[in-house]
Structure 1
Amino acid sequence: MDVLSDALAVMRSGRPHSSRTVKSAPWGIRFPATDGAGFHVVLQGSAWLLRPGAAAPVRLGTGDVVLLAHGYDHGLADDPGTPLQTFEPGPDGSWPEPPASESGPAAEGQTQLLCGAYQLSRFRAHPLLTELPPFVHVPACVGTFPRLRAAIDMLGAELADPLPGSDAVVPALLDTLLVHLLRAWWLKDGEPGKGTGSPGGWAGALRDPAVTAALEAVHRDPAHPWTVEELGAEAGLSRAAFARRFTELVGRPPLAYLTWWRMTTAGRLLRDTDAPLHTVAERTGYTSEFAFAKAFKREYGTPPGQYRRSLPGVRMGP
């Protein structure tokens, strides 16, 4: 997988959930803080995003999208002064079905919302996501982010009129929507060099063809015994120039990132598969199970076997 897909896969801890509702003024919803991430789309009408602390409310118009990458508590309302009612998801993170009065088509003067949440683990979160600001606001603008708009339209239609297969389609569309929201922030719909986010950090790394080439090489084959020279060749730069640029944008030297990603990959394999330890070691670049176990304990503070046994619901091999 590519870097963005890998970063999302390693943090995903459950199925995403969403709901489409129609609101008549006055209305206000408070969303408590969560471990995951959430989004809101104003399909029709307008709303106010109420942020914690002293941050000023943000008016959202038709077509506006907000991504709340870090799960901070916040509110949505027809007016900043409207009292908020707390939203309560199910025990598994699922979103309750809206009442019949809020599930039909929106009339003039009403607000139609498409809201959802992603269950993400913050343990060893990828910096590609942790560097995001608390609130990413993508205003509606004719002709911009066509793939994002298409994902919103398809998701809204599927929730408004479920058909056979919706249980499979909706989670896939939610994952698609998240990817396009992140692209809108970092890469301007996938076009390097035209992002709307900060030019530094991972936003800059994903727009830099040389650094991206090296990152994709590491993610494509983390077991390969990469050297700085080899990664520099992937990037088309000299060793020194590559190491300097990579460290500046990614925040750690190339081989330090390689080690971090290998251990992150190992943790995911131990969590999501029943592969034996020697297989996990091979797939993360270690020639012996002993060397792998030593590196893993140094990174996680516990041996890999004990780490796997401590995880809830892990599939155990014979």
Structure 2
Amino acid sequence: MDVLSDAIAAMRMGRPHSGLREKFAPWGVHFGTHGGAGFHVVLQGSAWLIPEGGEGQKAGEPVALGPGDVVFLAHGYGHALVSEPGVEVERFDLEEDGSWPDFPSPAARSDGRRPDTVLLCGAYRLDRARAHPLLSELPAVVHLPARVGSHPSLRGAVELLGAELADPQPGSDTIVSALLDTLLLYILRAWWLRERHGSGHPTGWAAALADPSVAAALHAVHDDPGRAWTVAELGALTGLSRAPFARRFAGAVGVPPLAYVTWWRMTVAGRVLREGDAPLRIVAQQAGYASEFAFAKAFKREFGVAPGRYRKVRVAG
């Protein structure tokens, strides 16, 4: 499995939501903190993003947005979108299903005036109880300015999504949902590529995925999490002996190789329990445990509850 795709799949819940918004200056909307992630794309005109900090963090600086700019708010911190700093804002919170509220967008005007700004906004529901470190280390605001020739796949996804939302046709619900998932991957890929090539010295998970040895080991673990991996075996895949590989992996990922293997196994198991009805015996086998008892013990140590209880609570919630 692709590590980036897997990291998203581990956290994604429910359906993503999106909508087109037409705004007439002066305007301002504020969104409260929520458990998911959101994005905004300026399709026409301009706007300012006013980010708020998370718990114990300072608020970010205002970000000027122009046509084609994309901003991604990975951690669900509160923020405002305004025509210009200082304008009065209307406050909104996401609905229980993770959808954006239907905040006013007065498209029809008696004077025939066209909107000053057209926005494409969207939100994703995420399970932050198992936040993958690749996504956890994202900055509060990922700003991808529009530049000629930059991120053509991302721009293409934005255009397709905007077209479907502007003129829904049979099948649009499924197409929009798929395009939103695609857009999320393109946004994260664009961030990763920028981190990898921008300064020439990537750090964190950008460095981990750019390191051929570490990336090969990560791909192997994600491809077959239930395998009885050893540090020596993972190192052999990368052409490194046990000790040098372990140091290199831990330095890039932040934890020793087998600690990550265990964490990822439990994350996959939690997702299977949350989304399916496979017997615990099958889930245990997929997670690499020889017995249901051993799996249940490891799962409770990781999650604090037995797997059966975890499934009931997650499905009910």
- Say whether the fold is shared (TM-score over 0.5): yes
CA distance in 2, matches of 1:307, 1:102: 46
Q: Does structure 2 conserve the Cα–Cα contact (< 8 Å) formed by 1:185 and 1:195? A: no
Query: 1:59 aligned to 53, 64, 87, which one?
Result: 64
CA distance in 1, matches of 2:215, 2:47: 38
CA distance in 2, matches of 1:37, 1:123: 14
Gaps of 5+ in 2: 53-57
Q: Does structure 2 conserve the Cα–Cα contact (< 8 Å) formed by 1:136 and 1:185? A: yes
Which residues in structure 2 correspond to 1:283-302 (within 5 Å)?
283-302=286-305
Is 1:38 equivalent to 2:43 in the alignment?
A: no
CA distance in 2, matches of 1:19, 1:41: 11
Query: 1:282 aligned to 270, 280, 285, which one?
Result: 285
Match of 1:62, SS state, is: coil
CA distance in 2, matches of 1:199, 1:66: 21
Query: 1:81 aligned to 86, 92, 100, which one?
Result: 86
Q: CA RMSD in A?
A: 2.2
Q: How far is the alpha carbon of 1:292 from its aligned partner? A: 1.0
Partner amino acid for 1:84? V
Q: How far is the alpha carbon of 1:250 from its aligned partner? A: 0.5
Aligned partner of 1:143 in structure 2 is: 149
Aligned partner of 1:9 in structure 2 is: 9
Cα distance change of structure 1 residues 197 and 296 upon mapping to structure 2, 3 Å threshold: farther
Q: Residue deviations 1:205-239, cap 9 Å, x none?
A: 11112111110100100111111111112223222
Is 1:101 equivalent to 2:112 in the alignment?
A: no
Q: Does structure 2 conserve the Cα–Cα contact (< 8 Å) formed by 1:39 and 1:67? A: yes
CA distance in 1, matches of 2:278, 2:108: 45
Gaps of 5+ in 1: none
Is 1:244 equivalent to 2:244 in the alignment?
A: no
Match of 2:236, SS state, is: helix
Partner amino acid for 2:91? T
Aligned partner of 1:170 in structure 2 is: 176
**Percent identity of the aligned residues?**
62
Question: Scaled by the length of structure 1, what TM-score is found?
Answer: 0.91
Partner amino acid for 1:290? F
Match of 1:48, SS state, is: strand
CA distance in 1, matches of 2:312, 2:104: 42
Match of 1:38, SS state, is: strand
Aligned partner of 1:262 in structure 2 is: 265
Q: Does structure 2 conserve the Cα–Cα contact (< 8 Å) formed by 1:286 and 1:292? A: yes
CA distance in 2, matches of 1:209, 1:161: 44
Q: Does structure 2 conserve the Cα–Cα contact (< 8 Å) formed by 1:213 and 1:235? A: yes
Relative to structure 2, which stretch is displaced further, 158-167 or 230-239?
230-239
Partner amino acid for 2:274? R
Equivalenced residues, count: 310
Match of 2:130, SS state, is: coil
Is 1:157 equivalent to 2:163 in the alignment?
A: yes
Relative to structure 2, which stretch is displaced further, 248-257 or 1-10?
1-10
Q: Does structure 2 conserve the Cα–Cα contact (< 8 Å) formed by 1:20 and 1:113? A: yes
